[in-house]
């Protein structure tokens, strides 16, 4: 009976320890660079801000907000911000890497020694002893128009052949209507003139003989 009681008490203590330790581990705000009970050299990339921009930071110190494991080749935007409850690391000895206020609000890559942390207070930020730093290059993402393949243009000769219309087929001129055709001149007009003269002379003679009859 005593063994059962001892076993139950041991299980309860272990379970209680897991319950109390797990929330503290879940509240880590160091970007999971190293386990809290370990220290070592790391390369971290984050947003450089003043300590008063994040919860638990000291106003007179630089803080690396939103830290993650580096190195990285580039970032998509030049500027950055940090929310009050964002993950952060307190930067010690920033003068070793020539950190200055003109770099605030920019993405920075820092190499240094990350100190271990035994406190379970979520507002207690881990300290990163700075050794070197560099500004992370900014490379804007390419737009869809830039990534789409260029439209291929046809060769100049092909384009010219498409735009130039084919010459129309030549046809023989239509023959004029029969009414408008001119007959060839095969005879002279003199016989017609002579005939008209004879008719006039005959008419004159007939008229003279008629008058003479009326007088007689």
Q: Flag whether the pTM goes above 0.85.
A: no
Q: What angle do CA 94, 50, 117 make, to 5 degrees?
A: 70
3-state secondary structure 69-102: ECCCCCECCCECCCCCCCCEEEEECHHHHCCCHH
Cis peptide bond N-terminal to 71, omega within 30? yes
In this prediction, residue 35 carries a pLDDT of: 92
Lowest-confidence pick of 10-14, 120-124, 138-142, 189-193: 10-14
192, pLDDT greater than 70: yes
| Structure token digits, residue 113 | 């020694």
Residue range 92-100: average pLDDT?
A: 95
Q: Where are the domains of the chain?
A: 27-133
Q: What is the pLDDT of residues 14-61, one digit of tens each?
A: 444 444 443 444 467 888 999 989 999 999 999 999 999 999 999 999
Residue range 193-215: average pLDDT?
A: 81
The distance from CA 197 to its chain's CA centroid, rounded to whole angstroms, is 103
């Amino acid at each position: 009976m005593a063994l059962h009681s001892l076993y139950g008490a041991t299980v309860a203590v272990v379970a209680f320890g897991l319950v109390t330790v797990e929330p503290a581990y879940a509240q880590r705000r160091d970007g999971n660079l190293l386990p809290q009970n370990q220290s070592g050299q790391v390369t971290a990339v984050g947003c450089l801000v003043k300590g008063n921009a994040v919860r638990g930071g000291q106003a007179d110190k630089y803080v690396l907000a939103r830290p993650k494991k580096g190195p990285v080749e580039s970032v998509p935007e030049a500027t950055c911000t940090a929310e009050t409850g964002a993950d952060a690391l307190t930067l010690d000895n920033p003068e070793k890497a020539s950190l200055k206020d003109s770099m605030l609000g920019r993405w920075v890559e820092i190499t240094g020694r990350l100190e271990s942390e035994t406190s379970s207070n979520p507002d207690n930020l881990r300290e990163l002893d700075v050794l070197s730093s560099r500004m992370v290059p900014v490379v804007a993402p390419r737009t869809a128009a830039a990534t789409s393949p260029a439209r291929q243009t046809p060769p100049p000769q092909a384009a010219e052949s498409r735009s130039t219309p084919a010459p129309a087929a030549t046809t023989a001129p239509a023959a004029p209507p029969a009414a408008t055709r001119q007959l060839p001149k095969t005879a002279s007009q003199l016989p017609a003139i002579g005939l008209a003269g004879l008719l006039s002379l005959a008419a004159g003679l007939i008229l003279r003989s008629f008058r003479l009859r009326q007088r007689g």
